Amino acid sequence: MSAPPLATATPGEAHARLVGLLAGRRTVALTGAGMSTDSGIPDYRGPDSPKRTPMTYQQFMGDAAFRRHYWARNHLGWRFMDASRPNAGHRALAGLERAGVVGGVLTQNVDLLHTKAGSRNVIDLHGSYAQVRCMGCESRISRFTLAQRLEEANPGFAESVSAATGVEIAPDADAVIDETAHFRMVDCERCGGILKPDIVYFGESVPKHRVEAAFAMVAGCELLLVLGSSLTVMSGLRFVRHAAKNEIPVVIVNRGPTRGDEYATLKLEDGCSQTLETVTAAL
């Protein structure tokens, strides 16, 4: 089946077209890192983003040095993400759900900002920063509980690093610091297993039940609205391909090209917050 033609337009023209597409259609939103940049959370692939190399699942599980480096950085970075607040785009999307325009949200973000903004039907495709999982016994604890244990094992670490170098925040509840060799990790209190953020790493698969629920959400919609995702990874692109294959219109709002542009009925080179506020006002 051939893909629908890609239509490009100025923001004003595109907003009007988007309003027309949303009217009377059951819509599902698929969001990426560009949705949260207005909340101060950086993304990986935005036009102004520095080049970053995220840790892979294989590195984390296979090398204690990588795990130590990750947990030292995360011990600082998670606090920033926990303190982040929804932006105007998150609030507008939650409002569109309450108005019955948006039926659900699939998000690749781990920041929980959609839930904080009031969205109710949310599938966190890649998990969330707020939970930690034992890779041995599968038990889960909150990130706050782990923070207390790490603080006891590394008294004064966060304060000393922040005072010496300052802290640059990176995506996925991470912070950019170099001195991590003396950081002490902790293991699962129940079985002694490796603790890992309950986040889907690069090289790791999204849990099957989560993927099935997401496909079911897309199958029940009449418009897929992509917000702030370059669709570089298959975990998001597959839903765009699925919608296009089933003749469900796809609208993409993103600054810069995406891997899904060829499937788009409409592409807006604009910010998520501005677009959603404009659309909400029009509707």
Average of per-residue pLDDT values in the chain: 88
Please indicate whether residue 126 is annotated as part of the active site: yes
pLDDT computed for residue 164 by the predictor: 40
pLDDT computed for residue 105 by the predictor: 98
Band of pLDDT at residue 193, cut at 50, 70 and 90: very high
Q: What is the mean pLDDT of residues 156-173?
A: 61
Residue matched to tokens 């897929």: 224
DSSP state of 202: B
Residue 137 in marked binding region: yes
**Alpha carbons 185 and 162: distance in angstroms, whole number:** 19
pLDDT computed for residue 2 by the predictor: 39
**Alpha carbons 17 and 173: distance in angstroms, whole number:** 36
- Percentage helix, strand, coil for the chain under 3-state DSSP, each rounded to 5: 40, 20, 40
The pLDDT > 70 percentage for the chain reads 85
Catalytic residue among 69, 90, 126, 182: 126
Residue 87 in marked binding region: no
pLDDT computed for residue 1 by the predictor: 37
Domains of the chain: 1-41+86-126+205-283 (3.40.50.1220), 50-83+131-199 (no CATH)
Burial class (CB in 10 A: 0-12, 13-18, 19+), 2: exposed
pLDDT computed for residue 176 by the predictor: 60
Per-residue pLDDT for 115 more than 80? yes
Per-residue pLDDT for 232 more than 80? yes
Residue 111 in marked binding region: yes
Residue 191 in marked binding region: yes
Per-residue pLDDT for 20 more than 80? yes
Show the tokens assigned to 210. Answer: 């989560």
Q: Which residues contact 156 (CB under 8 A, 6 or more apart)?
A: none
What is the CA angle 174-179-182, rounded to 5? 105
pLDDT computed for residue 61 by the predictor: 97
Per-residue pLDDT for 187 more than 50? yes
169-186 pLDDT, tens digit each: 555 656 566 667 789 999
215-230 pLDDT, tens digit each: 999 999 999 999 999 9
Per-residue pLDDT for 167 more than 70? no
62-76, 127-141, 171-185, 212-226: lowest mean pLDDT where?
171-185
